[in-house]
Structure 1
Amino acid sequence: MFTSRRGGLLAASAGLALIIAAAPASAETLAEAIALAYDSNPTLQAQRATQRALDENWVQARAGYRPTVQAQAAANYTENRVPANARAVDRNGDGVPDPVGSGITEANSAGATLSLSQPLFTGGRVAATVSAAEADILAGREQLRRTEASVMQAVIQAYADVRRDQEGLRIRQENQRVLQRQLDESKARFEVGEITRTDVAQSEARLAAADAQLALAQSQLASSRATYAAVVGQNPGDLAPEPQLSDLLPADISQAFEAAENNNPQVRQAKYAERASNARLAGAKAERMPNLGVSASLGYNGPAEPFEREDYSRAVRAGATVTVPLFTGGLTSSRIRAAMERNNTDRINVEAARRSVMQSLTQAWNQHVASKSNIVSTDEQVRAARIAAEGTRQEQQVGLRTTLDVLNAEQELRNAELSQVSARRDEFVAVSLVLAQMGLLEAPLLTPGVTRYDASANFKNNRVTWGWVPWEEPIAVVDGVLTPKVTEQPTTAAPPPAPASK
């Protein structure tokens, strides 16, 4: 049974070796993984499409400044049938009804109307809708930045996890080989009577445990590889060592706090959401303001059959309309109060977002500091454990140590090596968490060769598009006198980019 189990483990190891061997010969770098995910990750692509759809809200809001033109055409046919009894009338008094024809009358008509309506002043309603749309678009761009940071974080973590698990598998494989040699030596020494059966059994038990740990390491690596493929878009090959992302960190946490205040997309998104609700509050108040608009129409009416132009009448109408709301049963006041409370909620959410970011940044920074210390400790632990394991093996040869001492020393060495690998992975991931909270975890910053996706390009293309009229600009200026303006807030300068490969 023990032999068959080990045979299955060896077969699994061979299968995993074939998968790794099929990877590209050249080492795959983090820069390449980031570039591929930045261009192809479905979550990021979907968020970009969502942002482009959000850009259309501004175009739809601006349509309130523009004229509307409608054309309407109609043709009608009418037939009246009068029953025979109703048609029979005695007109000459001879007692016999006189015939009055078939009793069928027909009529037809046709008409066409072209109408135009142009708002001149909406009391700020349209201006408020436009401002709210602009704020929503800016908030959407921050959501896109959050999504990008989340994807980059997933790429970095998946890369680090695969690297950690590859090293973990190598350590487990080395442990299995060492324990196999130790078992062979124990059996040979047992044959010559130097040790007892108990020593052999101890070696067999440790080797069996190593086989189980190797199987777990293989499973963990397969899981990490699957996560990497889902995020990056391809299976990982021979991954190069992680770059030094810590070069992007500021000297102290106070600078990180300052960067997060200005750059963190969660905080900036909350601020833009507050400005959007403030604009909607202005729109609710504008419901009390008068409306001014002009309209004109041109219509023709006449018989459809026979068609004669001379028989058609023409109607031309033009006028201006002023609408002043006087009483709405409290509806407008209720909408204003509701918009005001929603704006209060968004204003409070800005502080909630800031506190949440500061908390996450503090945790990530402390995790980074602790991980750096842990790296130093585990490096020293590995150095000492390696010396101890070598010394224990030599002392066993002269009878100063038992087989169990050697097995324990080997186990301590492997555990120290695994802790060292995990510590380096944790420090690397902790740095990326700090950068994410600072708002600096962006693909072009991590990989300078990546072309940045310009979220504003689609919006700029839509500013002057089908439906634009030159007189909407002065109308917008007049309509927006009392409406709060929304402008994009700049981010602080980022530190120089660090290379994403060694």
Structure 2
Amino acid sequence: MLAAVSCVIALGLTSQASAETLADAIALAYQNNPSLQAQRAAQRALDESWVQARTGWRPTLGLSSSASWQESRTPITERNGEDLDGDGRPDVLANGLPTIREQNSGSVSLRLSQPIWTGGRVAANVSAAEAEVLAGRENLRRIEQQILLNVITAYVDVRRDIEGLRIRNENVQVLERQLEESRARFEVGEITRTDVAQSEARLAAAQAQYQLAQSQLATSRANYAAVVGQNPGDLAPEPSLAALLPSDPDQVFDAVEQFNPNIRAAEYTEQASRARIAGARAERLPNVSVDASLGHSGGRLDPFDRRDYSRNVTATATVSVPLFSGGLVSSRIRQSVERNNVDRLNVEINRRTALQQATQSWNALQAARANIVSTEEQVRAARIAAEGTRQEQQVGLRTTLDVLNAEQELRAAELSQINARREEYVAATSVLGAMGRLEAQNLVAGVQIYDPETNFRKLRFTWGWVPWEEPISVIDSLLTPQPVEKPEPPAVTATPAAAGPPEAPAPAPAAPTAPGQ
């Protein structure tokens, strides 16, 4: 059994020569995670809504054509000698059958329509679409940060469970030796059967805990594979995140209010609904457009003669003024205003939620750092106590139960220590997520960053764009609020995922209180 246990533990030990780093896991998930890829595709689809909105300023060109064929049968009662088929010659009824007359004709027309001023209707749609695109980018940032948080959590979970399995294995080995020693001492009469039974019970419990630790490690490995895309190998120690974390909680809250993706997405959504208020009010304003058409009609197709066709050319300027809509426009305005009120309140809801999460994560981080210091001291003291208890047992000052209890306290302290380190790292990652800094460009050096603006810029001049679209858009946008794009989160030059081992935790400052709470 011990040989099998040693093989399992060896699979979890890190090899610095070929260790898989956290940067490797983040880069792999950033490039290949299907949830993240799907969100990027959804953002590219959202970009098209802006192009579709701008088509309201562009001309529309349509071509229509028609062809007809007609057959007429003249009753037999008609008189002979009449020209019934229009060929210039008198018709003759043969064998009492009716005369058949055939006709055909064709037409073709080309129509062009160009909006000049829509009263701001199209401008409102474009502004709303642009704000929604910006909100979509923040949602993409949110999904990216959630994926990276999942990657980091899965990474440290696997490392924690590998270390936990090692501790459980050592516990089993120590208790096996303790049981052998107890049986030997029982044979010579130094201890009683009760001492042996106590050793056997502790060993059975340790073996059960070892099996649970194996199951927990298998679960963590499955979670890692699901989010990263491959099974974990030999995982190197996770690096320090100190370069990305501020020392002052006020800096955390300032970053949350400026760069938290949930808050920014809510603000862009509010800008979109505000533009739709202007669009609803534009329904009361005139609409100016110019239409032109060119058509040929009236001639025969068979036999075809161009001289038989008449040509029609028309040009029309149209001013459409809405006078009465039965209250429909007023209702749409009120509806848009209330929807904007909802979005405006959602900004405050997301702000409070983000500050609450930042406060919880910051306090959890400080508690975990203090816990690391405490557990290190606990492990040191428990190791000394366990060694001393074993030596005192040899001279009869301690019982077998005392030794078993000391060993159990030592293992519990070691497990608390590795769990505290895991909690500290996850809490630090959560703080970065609330601040909007949990991004691949801040965590991995040299990774190819996906820029959603690249696709959007390509759509600026696509098929259908016309040069006079720009002056028309300027005139149409005079009464429409334009979206205000917020500054991008600053990139941090440090790349902690490629740095060295974690730094020692700093002393925990006083618990912060989020502003406005």
Into which bin does the TM-score normalised by the smaller protein fall?
over 0.9
More helix by share: 1
Q: Which runs of 5+ in 1 are unaligned?
A: 1-6, 92-97
- The one-letter code matched in structure 2 to 1:41 is N
1:153 and 2:149 equivalent?
yes
CA contact (8 A) 1:23 1:236 kept: no
1:68 and 2:64 equivalent?
no
CA contact (8 A) 1:374 1:423 kept: yes
Residue 392 (structure 2) aligns with: 395
Q: What do residues 135-191 of structure 1 show as CA deviations (whole Å, max 9, x unaligned)?
A: 000000000000010001001100110111010000000101101111111111111
Residue 113 (structure 2) aligns with: 117
Residue 94 (structure 1) aligns with: none
C-alpha deviation, 1:498, in angstroms: 3.9
Q: What do residues 206-234 of structure 1 show as CA deviations (whole Å, max 9, x unaligned)?
A: 11101100000000000000000111111
1:80 and 2:72 equivalent?
yes
**Matched residues in 2 for 1:206 and 1:379: separation?**
25
CA contact (8 A) 1:158 1:224 kept: yes
Q: What do residues 25-79 of structure 1 show as CA deviations (whole Å, max 9, x unaligned)?
A: 6111111111111101111111001001111011111111111111111111111
- TM-score after normalising by structure 2: 0.91
Q: Secondary structure at 1:26's aligned position in 2?
A: coil
1:209-358 aligned within 5 A: 209-301=205-297, 302-358=299-355
C-alpha deviation, 1:252, in angstroms: 1.2
C-alpha deviation, 1:104, in angstroms: 2.4
CA contact (8 A) 1:69 1:115 kept: yes
Q: Secondary structure at 1:305's aligned position in 2?
A: coil
CA contact (8 A) 1:179 1:207 kept: yes
Residue 28 (structure 1) aligns with: 20
Residue 482 (structure 2) aligns with: 485
**CA separation of 1:83 and 1:214: change in aligned 2, threshold 3 A:** farther
1:438 and 2:438 equivalent?
no
1:57 and 2:49 equivalent?
yes
**CA separation of 1:200 and 1:63: change in aligned 2, threshold 3 A:** same
**CA separation of 1:416 and 1:256: change in aligned 2, threshold 3 A:** same
C-alpha deviation, 1:495, in angstroms: 4.5
C-alpha deviation, 1:82, in angstroms: 4.6
Q: Secondary structure at 1:490's aligned position in 2?
A: coil
Residue 190 (structure 1) aligns with: 186
Moved more, 490-499 or 268-277: 490-499
Residue 465 (structure 2) aligns with: 468
Moved more, 483-492 or 183-192: 483-492
Residue 95 (structure 1) aligns with: none
C-alpha deviation, 1:90, in angstroms: 11
CA contact (8 A) 1:277 1:342 kept: yes
Equivalent pairs, count: 487
- The one-letter code matched in structure 2 to 1:125 is R
- The one-letter code matched in structure 2 to 1:157 is T
Q: What do residues 378-401 of structure 1 show as CA deviations (whole Å, max 9, x unaligned)?
A: 001000000000000000111111
CA contact (8 A) 2:15 2:236 kept: no
C-alpha deviation, 1:251, in angstroms: 1.6
Q: Secondary structure at 1:132's aligned position in 2?
A: helix
**Matched residues in 2 for 1:80 and 1:474: separation?**
56
CA contact (8 A) 2:441 2:491 kept: no
C-alpha deviation, 1:14, in angstroms: 7.4
CA contact (8 A) 1:244 1:498 kept: no
**CA separation of 1:399 and 1:24: change in aligned 2, threshold 3 A:** closer
Residue 44 (structure 1) aligns with: 36
C-alpha deviation, 1:10, in angstroms: 7.6
Residue 3 (structure 1) aligns with: none
Residue 507 (structure 2) aligns with: none
Moved more, 70-79 or 257-266: 70-79
- The one-letter code matched in structure 2 to 1:428 is Y
Moved more, 483-492 or 417-426: 483-492
**Matched residues in 2 for 1:237 and 1:363: separation?**
33
Residue 511 (structure 2) aligns with: none
**Matched residues in 2 for 1:494 and 1:461: separation?**
24
Residue 380 (structure 2) aligns with: 383
- Cα root mean square deviation, aligned: 2.1
**Matched residues in 1 for 2:268 and 2:167: separation?**
50
CA contact (8 A) 1:261 1:267 kept: yes
Q: Secondary structure at 2:72's aligned position in 1?
A: strand
**Matched residues in 2 for 1:309 and 1:90: separation?**
33
C-alpha deviation, 1:491, in angstroms: 3.6
**Matched residues in 2 for 1:179 and 1:222: separation?**
25
CA contact (8 A) 2:14 2:235 kept: no
CA contact (8 A) 1:444 1:452 kept: yes
